Amino acid sequence: MRVTLQSLTTRLQSTLTDLSARQAQQQTRIATGQRLLQLSDAPSDIADITSYRSTIARLQRYSSTLDGALAEQGTTETALESIATTLSNVQTLGIDAQQIANHDKWNVFAQHLLSNIRAIIEAANTSHGDIYVLAGTKNTAASLQPTAPLETTQMPFELVTTSPTPANPSGLEVRFKGNTEARFVQTGDGHTEQVSTTADKVFGSGGTEVFTTLIALYNTFAYAPDGTPRSDGQLPTAEELDRVAAYIKQIADATTTVNQATAEVGIRTDRMTAQHEQIAEDITRQREFLSRLTDTDVAAATMQLQRDQIAYEYSLKIGARMLNLSLFDFLQ
């Protein structure tokens, strides 16, 4: 008759359960690459692990902020280059208009100039996502409400027509609905970076000074000294030629100002790029520290899995032999 060896079988079952659980644990570690499957696996490392993960998350937020800021700098730089190019075209147009052979074509020059003014306004209204890059902190369509009846768009710059005056016979005027406050973002612990280029740094006082000069030049081309529309072939006066020369000088100065603003964007971009690269290196280093605490040593885990497998198989063999013991075996 067979003898029930409760104490021995209970111990054997416990051993087999432990070995099976350890094998499953090692297999999970190898499959996931994670050494720590639960907090109790390494309670002494929890504080360091939490610190590393928190640091990585914070650095990733800064990195994401810099990604957006760098993209905006690229958009702004493109807009400024377009504005500078158009202003240069206006200078060339003004110089050509001063040539004696072109004195009877000022009406044509006026139309070309008006087209250039509209092109500059279009570039000035460049947006990055839902933000107008030259509108300061008042930079979304929702915040740029037009003042009726002259203003009709929800853009920062708009060309409107007001009542003509002797000084402004066309009545043209560029309205700026944004503001000249700089925008900043946090790009590091205790560190902020300006990400916006304000309209006054590009177009002068109030963000519209250069437009006043452009419209004055347009009025000189399009209107006679008495304020009436210039007739075809009507020649300019000496005073008008002097005014055009003065406006060309002002526009040249404005072009230099725009180029300086573009250079500042470039400097900002270089600075933020360097910071972005530094943050990327910091994230990599923090991940390496975290990896040492949390990642599985695959070689060691594989060896331990093999040892546990051998022990499990050996325990099964022992168990099989124990179940075949009888009272006679114990009496021998």
Please report the DSSP string for 280-326 in residue order: HHHHHHHHHHHHHHHB--HHHHHHHHHHHHHHHHHHHHHHHHHHT-B
Here the CATH number for the domain that contains residue 159 is 1.20.1330.10
The answer on 302 and 254 residing in a single domain is no
pLDDT tens sequence across 109-142:
999 999 999 999 999 999 999 999 999 999 999 9
Residue among 49, 28, 45 nearest 298 (CA): 28
Q: Is residue 63 part of a domain?
A: no
The answer on 316 and 204 residing in a single domain is no
Whole-angstrom CA distances from 248 to 91, 205, 214, 322, 325 are: 6, 18, 9, 107, 112
The answer on 232 and 92 residing in a single domain is yes
Q: Is residue 186 part of a domain?
A: yes
Q: What is the mean pLDDT of the chain?
A: 87
Total tally of structural domains belonging to the chain:
2
Q: Which domain holds residue 226?
A: 69-265
The answer on 306 and 176 residing in a single domain is no
Last residue of a domain, one of 249, 265, 281: 265
Find tokens 């168990």 and name the residue: 319
**Interval 4-27 mean pLDDT:** 63
pLDDT tens sequence across 35-66:
555 555 556 667 888 898 899 999 999 999 99
Whole-angstrom CA distances from 84 to 66, 118, 203, 216 are: 26, 14, 11, 19
Q: What is the pTM of this model?
A: 0.79
The answer on 185 and 77 residing in a single domain is yes
Whole-number pLDDT of residue 295: 57
- Bond prior to 43 in cis (omega within 30° of 0): no
Q: Is residue 103 part of a domain?
A: yes
- Please report which residue ranges of the chain form alpha helices under DSSP H: 6-32, 46-98, 106-124, 199-203, 209-222, 238-294, 298-323, 327-331
Last residue of a domain, one of 213, 246, 265: 265
The answer on 238 and 178 residing in a single domain is yes
Last residue of a domain, one of 243, 265, 287: 265
The answer on 247 and 182 residing in a single domain is yes
**Interval 159-172 mean pLDDT:** 97
The answer on 159 and 305 residing in a single domain is no
Residue among 175, 260, 259, 177 nearest 212 (CA): 175
Does 12 score more than 70 pLDDT?
no
**Confidence at 2, pLDDT banded by 50, 70, 90:** very low
The answer on 126 and 17 residing in a single domain is no
Task: Strands of 133-210 (E only): list them.
Answer: 157-161, 172-176, 184-188, 191-194
Which residues partner with 34 through β-bridges? Answer: 295
